[in-house]
Amino acid sequence: MDFLTSLKISSSALAANRKRMGAISSNIANSQTTRTAEGGPYRKKEVVLGSEPARESFGEILEGELDEKAQTVHATEVVSSNRPPILKYEPNHPDANEQGYVAYPNINVMEEMADMITASRSYEANISALNTTKSMALKALEIGR
């Protein structure tokens, strides 16, 4: 695998994890939102990640050959969770139904924080891989002096 392919793989992972951290931040910020523009409580957002071959040129695509079958990652879509809302009895709340229950998003903030730490660690690992590739390229240039 060449340097540019390695950089492309790391940068695609950085972009995917940045999107993941954005969705998690949105979930944490809206964990108590009972009313949205769509109606009803906020629904948890989840990022779906996918992979595709790291192909550099049209020739590689035609040949179908890659060094070690390298894959890049990308966020394919952001979907809303199907979890049912949590009903709490709060008859004085402005969003309470006829029985006095308010529908809150089914978001576990501790679970979201754990997901945020995982995404953050993955982001850090890819920055480390990116820096290692950069230092290898610089060392290769020093050999030519």
Predicted confidence at residue 84, as pLDDT, reads 94
* Helical pair 3-29 and 109-143, crossing angle rounded to 10 deg: 160
pLDDT for residue 17 = 94
Q: Give 101-106 contacts, CB < 8 A, sequence gap 24+.
A: 102/34, 103/34, 103/40, 103/41, 104/32, 104/34, 104/41, 105/30, 105/31, 105/32, 105/33, 105/34, 105/41, 105/42, 105/43, 105/44, 106/44, 106/81
Task: Encode the chain (145 residues) as per-residue pLDDT tens digits.
Answer: 677 888 888 999 999 999 999 999 999 999 999 999 988 899 999 999 998 877 665 555 555 554 556 788 888 899 999 899 999 999 999 999 999 999 999 999 999 999 999 999 999 999 999 999 999 888 888 887 7
Q: Tokens 């695609």 — which residue?
A: 12
Res 7: pLDDT: 87
Look at residue 101 in the predicted model and tell me its pLDDT.
95
Q: Give the chain's largest Cα–Cα span.
A: 79
The string of DSSP letters for 33-93 reads: ----TTSSS---EEEEEEEEE---SHHHHHHT--GGG-EEEEEEEEEE--PPPEEEE-TTS
**What does the alpha-carbon distance between residue 120 and residue 61 come to, in Å, rounded to a whole number?**
33
